[in-house]
Amino acid sequence: MAKGKHTHTRAQGKKWSTFSLVLWALFFLTLILVVLLALGIVYLPTTDDDFPTTDLSAFRRKTSQSAESLVENPPEQWTEILSWEPRAFIYHNFLSKEECEYLIELAKPQMVKSSVVDSKTGKSTESRVRTSSGMFLKRGKDKIVQNIEKRIADFTFIPEENGEGLQILHYEVGQKYEPHYDYFLDEFNTKNGGQRIATVLMYLSDVEEGGETVFPAANANFSSVPWWNDLSQCARKGLSVKPKMGDALLFWSMRPDATLDPSSLHGGCPVIKGNKWSSTKWMHLREYKV
Ligand SMILES: O=C(O)CCC(=O)C(=O)O
């Protein structure tokens, strides 16, 4: 009887020591994990994509699910930093092919020779610096336009109400827009919505040759862009973007400290071969009344 009790106690003691050994091991493993987490050597995933947020070129935003109603398999979208002076970014495949074609067809019957805004009177005047044709679409005109405007607001973090209506532009061979600023230096043009703060330029077509958007005052190594060899002479005078159907170029006319940014000087190079269709959205500091 006494022997049995003794054996039982020994077995129980052995069980307890194994159990406490496992507990100690778990405790130490947890401790090591906590230390590694605290030192940032390991981290727990917090999002599905889990991209480092400081690297914008790896930052994929899936804001355009709405475009899926128009296309079954939308191409991949990603954001590329073009320059910090001016602040300029390319959003690849921002518009679907169907959206580009829709905007062109909508605009075609109403295209007129483009004008520029007179800084003294605020009135539109014909000009030799801008030889394209164009028209404006009323803001929120229809469901497809509303969808695009919502996407622009998401991309720029500027409310839809701060935007002018979409302008659709068409450049034929030889047509261009000489370098200019999108911000105004007069009081008349800033009455509605305040200063223009940013521009979103969407390419509705590819262009066989020429038609690039050029930033001649950019603080950048112009020839470092991967598409340098494909650029026209005009485009090589600055930091340039080659039009690609569906891509959007966002650039800021104002710096984060709210001062005007002269490095945002930009123009449309002459089209050498083919046609260029684009759409411009100007965003203001405040609500732009339409
Ligand atoms: O067509 C381009 O590339 C430039 C257009 C432009 O400068 C504008 O619409 O303000």
- CATH number of the structural domain spanning residue 273: 2.60.120.620
Same domain, 158 and 208: yes
In a domain, residue 279? The reply is yes
Question: Once rounded to an integer, what is the mean pLDDT over residues 273-284?
Answer: 98
- In this structure, are 19 and 159 located in the same domain? no
Q: Which atom of ligand 1 is nearest to the CA of 212?
A: 3
Do residue 60 and residue 40 come from a single domain?
Answer: no
pLDDT at 43 over 70: no
Residue 216 covered by a domain = yes
Q: Which atom of ligand 1 is nearest to the CA of 278?
A: 1
Query: Does any domain span residue 195?
Result: yes
Integer Cα distance of 227 and 92 in angstroms? 15
Which is it for strands 276-284 and 213-215: parallel, antiparallel or unpaired? unpaired
Among the listed ranges 41-55, 109-123, 132-146, 246-260, which one has the minimum average pLDDT value?
Answer: 41-55
Q: Are residues 38 and 62 in the same domain?
A: no
Q: Which atom belonging to ligand 1 lies closest to the Cα atom of 211? A: 3
Phi then psi dihedrals of residue 207, to 5 deg = -125, 130
Does 13 share its domain with 92?
A: no
Q: Is there a domain that residue 49 lies in?
A: no
Same-domain check for residues 100 and 236:
yes
Q: Is a pLDDT exceeding 70 seen at residue 64?
A: no
**Gap between the Cα atoms of 245 and 160, Å rounded:** 23
Q: Per residue in 221-234, pLDDT tens?
A: 999 999 999 999 99
- Strands annotated E in 153-269: 167-171, 177-180, 196-203, 209-210, 213-215, 239-241, 248-252, 266-268
pTM of the complete model: 0.75
| pLDDT for residue 254 is more than 80 | yes
Q: What is the pLDDT of residue 1?
A: 42
Same domain membership, residue 148 and residue 20? no
Expressed in percent and rounded to 5, the helix, strand and coil fractions of the chain are 30, 25, 40
Look at ligand 1, atom 5, and give the residue with the nearest C-alpha.
Answer: 268
**Pair (30, 68) in one structural domain:** no
Which segment of 65-69, 83-87, 187-191, 286-290 scores lowest on mean pLDDT? 65-69
Statement to judge: residues 32 and 94 lie in one domain: no
- Kindly state the average pLDDT of the residues 201-205: 98
> 120 lies in which domain range?
56-284
Domain-embedded: residue 7: yes
- In whole angstroms, give the CA distance from residue 27 to residue 24: 5
Q: Which residue, by CA, sits nearest to atom 9 of ligand 1?
A: 280
Do 131 and 258 lie in a common domain?
A: yes
pLDDT digits (tens, 9 = 90+) for 75-96: 899 999 999 999 999 999 999 9
Work out the average pLDDT over 257-268: 98
What pLDDT score does 12 carry? 67
pLDDT tens digits for 152-192?
999 999 999 999 999 999 999 999 999 999 999 998 999 99
Do 83 and 210 reside in the same domain of the chain?
A: yes
> Which residue among 266, 271, 282 has the greatest number of ligand 1 atoms within 8 angstroms of its CB, and so is best to mutate?
266
Assigned domain for 290 exists: no
- The CA angle 89-92-95, to the nearest 5 degrees, is 115
Q: What is the pLDDT of residue 127?
A: 75
| Structure confidence at residue 42 as a pLDDT band (50, 70, 90) | low
**How many folded domains does the chain comprise?**
2
ω before 86 within 30° of 0 (cis)? yes
Q: Has residue 91 been placed in a domain?
A: yes
**240 and 276 in contact (C-beta within 8 Å)?**
no
Question: Distance, CA 248 to ligand 1 centroid (Å)?
Answer: 12
